[in-house]
A = this chain, B = another copy of it.
């Protein structure tokens, strides 16, 4: 049995050396295909519009560079009337078979129609997605048969020889855009899903954007890309880090959540213009839309400040981002303004609809820490459905904020203040009122803003811009109140704002930091800060955060070794590329993403490990 199969496989291994089967011999190979499901064939009359790869990245490629180092002479997307008469070799998947005579061959670059003139060849049994190599001659299609929907629609290839390079089993789904499978199935069979033009476009676009970023940094600004370790010691005060057991009993590496310490140590070491497109790890399996490993563009500079970093990122994006951006400088907003106007630290500026602070109307509010904010929206929307009302009330509970909608506002606060609110927000608007802790009231209305905006948009009551709207958010607080005392708002290495240093002991929650975020259309796509370069200040901040600095001994020592002032930033590449590609999810711009809870639908990882391996690593599962 095996012997026969292997003899049959012989020709598949090394085209140069192999005895290809000629067209005439194809029929004798039918047994190859006998067990293969033919369900795709002949179901639909071929329509190039439905099938062809529409791929901007590929359309812009220099075609002559696509066939180096391979035995095809052309891709399936490049033959034109100029090629008529040429002998060509094309390779790809069988996209469609028509009238037992026309074979459409597809690769990632396009579609070519091949024509069988030799009546001995039977192609009607070839399953779709079989891998073939066609040797043939380019010919003009008969007049009137040009297919203007196809880039190669002027020509066809008259087949001299067809070789089946590999067979195909029944596929779990069809490669047709109008029959797109659900995401779980796509992820399980990612190696097939990647053939969809959209995925081809996304991965190719990603590669080009990252390449352009590197060119900007290396060629235009002399940055140095340095690869830093991912197996390291735990960095206190951040996200949960994966641990990696070693063959040293009880000793573990941690997978780095970012190259933060390394990039700062590089500044100490004189690599004063550093970047890295870095793999980072965070164990946030329980958060939706997060990947346990992700990519960030990590940058750090010595002898710079906030304006230097902002300027660099704006130029970098202008240079490498494929969608239109406004001119520099991008808008800048303080954290306080973002919170009080948009109820979030990452405002989506593609639509208006701002919160209004109406606390001053409530002179009689007895609790001095209470604030009142309203969110006005077009009265034309009419009464909200119960579904929306419930969601809004749930948000009120989540943030411990008193919420009142339209009619209830009157009941809650009386005619006088209600009228003043109407006067402030305009008679054409309905209002939602939130009373509570200032931050919570704003955050709650921010969430409600994001809930109502799509509803308003769907009724043409709110204008959404189609553009990319970047925004810098600055002047974040240095600390936030955590369960066990102060926590870093950004991270423990962020410098306090020099104007607020005098408050560090007396009122630390009022101290602003030199952190900054860049936001695109409501997505935080990057953040950074001026760092603390003074070891004594760094030690004090760690102490205030109640962080045990024993794992940071080397880092403090580095600050004591002649550390230049420095600042940096990290951009979240997955999200940025998703916006560039107008993808719905970051999973659509990652070749092999995990699904929920960090599981890999493709391989089934994570998996059980045998006892021998666990013993080697001196661990036991409990």
The verdict on A271 contacting B108 (CB below 8 Å), with A609-B252, A619-B619 known, is yes
* Binding-face segment, A65-73, A342-350, A398-406: A65-73
Roughly how many angstroms separate A8 CA and B30 CA in the complex, as a whole number? Answer: 86
Roughly how many angstroms separate A235 CA and B206 CA in the complex, as a whole number? Answer: 27
Q: Does A477 contact B (CB under 8 A)?
A: no
Q: Does A265 contact B (CB under 8 A)?
A: yes
Contact partner of A620 (CB less than 8 A), chosen from B9, B191, B199, B619, is: B619
Q: Does A279 contact B (CB under 8 A)?
A: yes
Q: Beta-carbon contacts of A498-534 to B below 8 Å, as 1s and 0s?
A: 1101101100000000100000000000000010011
For A557, the chain B residues whose CB sits under 8 A away are 169, 189
Q: Beta-carbon contacts of A206-246 to B below 8 Å, as 1s and 0s?
A: 11101100110011111011111111111000001011111
The verdict on A603 contacting B533 (CB below 8 Å), with A303-B91, A618-B621, A619-B622 known, is no
Interface residues of A in 141-161 (CB under 8 A from B): none
The verdict on A606 contacting B10 (CB below 8 Å), with A5-B536, A270-B195 known, is no
The verdict on A165 contacting B499 (CB below 8 Å), with A70-B308, A211-B225, A285-B246 known, is no
Q: Does A319 contact B (CB under 8 A)?
A: no
The verdict on A2 contacting B262 (CB below 8 Å), with A269-B193, A279-B227 known, is no
Q: Is the CB of A498 within 8 A of B229?
A: no
Q: Does A3 contact B (CB under 8 A)?
A: yes
Task: Kindly provide the distance from the CB of A528 to the nearest chain B CB, expressed in whole angstroms.
Answer: 13
Q: Beta-carbon contacts of A520-556 to B below 8 Å, as 1s and 0s?
A: 0000000000100110110010000000000100100
The verdict on A232 contacting B565 (CB below 8 Å), with A269-B192, A505-B3, A514-B14 known, is no
The verdict on A603 contacting B16 (CB below 8 Å), with A243-B244, A270-B194 known, is no
Q: Is the CB of B227 within 8 A of A194?
A: no
For A613, the chain B residues whose CB sits under 8 A away are 243
* Binding-face segment, A361-369, A462-470, A591-599: A591-599
6 tightest Cβ-Cβ pairs between the two chains A and B: A194-B269, A251-B606, A233-B605, A129-B562, A191-B268, A191-B265
Roughly how many angstroms separate A621 CA and B252 CA in the complex, as a whole number? Answer: 10
Number of copies: 2
Q: Is the CB of A501 within 8 A of B6?
A: yes
Q: Is the CB of A224 within 8 A of B204?
A: yes
**Taking CB as reference atom, which chain B residue is nearest A537?**
B9
Interface residues of A in 25-65 (CB under 8 A from B): 61-62, 65
Q: Beta-carbon contacts of A325-356 to B below 8 Å, as 1s and 0s?
A: 00000000000000000000000000000000
Q: Is the CB of A605 within 8 A of B254?
A: yes
Q: Is the CB of A591 within 8 A of B207?
A: no
Q: Does A293 contact B (CB under 8 A)?
A: yes
Q: Does A166 contact B (CB under 8 A)?
A: yes
**Taking CB as reference atom, which chain B residue is nearest A71?**
B303
The verdict on A250 contacting B621 (CB below 8 Å), with A169-B560, A189-B561, A561-B169 known, is yes
Contact partner of A604 (CB less than 8 A), chosen from B233, B272, B514, is: B233
Most buried by B among A211, A309, A501: A211
Q: Does A563 contact B (CB under 8 A)?
A: yes
Contact partner of A303 (CB less than 8 A), chosen from B72, B230, B504, B592, is: B72
Contact partner of A246 (CB less than 8 A), chosen from B12, B224, B606, is: B606
Q: Does A200 contact B (CB under 8 A)?
A: yes
Roughly how many angstroms separate A512 CA and B496 CA in the complex, as a whole number? Answer: 65
Kindly list 5 other residue pairs between chains A and B, CB separation below 8 angstroms, not including A231-B242, A231-B293.
Answer: A7-B502, A10-B501, A191-B266, A230-B230, A247-B283
Contact partner of A305 (CB less than 8 A), chosen from B9, B15, B133, is: B15
For A230, the chain B residues whose CB sits under 8 A away are 230, 279, 293
Q: Is the CB of B222 within 8 A of A271?
A: no
Task: Kindly provide the distance from the CB of A211 to the nearest chain B CB, expressed in whole angstroms.
Answer: 5
Q: Is the CB of B551 within 8 A of A305?
A: no
Q: Is the CB of A262 within 8 A of B166?
A: no
**Taking CB as reference atom, which chain B residue is nearest A593?**
B229
Q: Is the CB of A229 within 8 A of B262?
A: no
Q: Is the CB of A210 within 8 A of B232?
A: no
Task: Kindly provide the distance from the CB of A183 to the nearest chain B CB, expressed in whole angstroms.
Answer: 16
Q: Beta-carbon contacts of A160-181 to B below 8 Å, as 1s and 0s?
A: 0000011111010000000000
The verdict on A562 contacting B6 (CB below 8 Å), with A62-B222, A203-B226 known, is no
The verdict on A14 contacting B221 (CB below 8 Å), with A69-B308, A252-B607, A591-B226 known, is no
Most buried by B among A272, A504, A616: A272
Q: Does A13 contact B (CB under 8 A)?
A: yes
Q: Is the CB of A269 within 8 A of B191?
A: yes
- A-B contacts, 8 of them at CB < 8 A, read A65-B222, A68-B312, A70-B304, A131-B563, A215-B215, A232-B603, A232-B605, A618-B622
Q: Is the CB of B65 within 8 A of A168?
A: no
Contact partner of A253 (CB less than 8 A), chosen from B214, B605, B615, B617, is: B605
Q: Is the CB of A252 within 8 A of B533?
A: no
Q: Does A82 contact B (CB under 8 A)?
A: no
The verdict on A227 contacting B530 (CB below 8 Å), with A17-B498, A233-B605, A560-B168 known, is no
Task: Kindly provide the distance from the CB of A246 to the nearest chain B CB, expressed in whole angstroms.
Answer: 5
Q: Is the CB of B266 within 8 A of A591?
A: yes
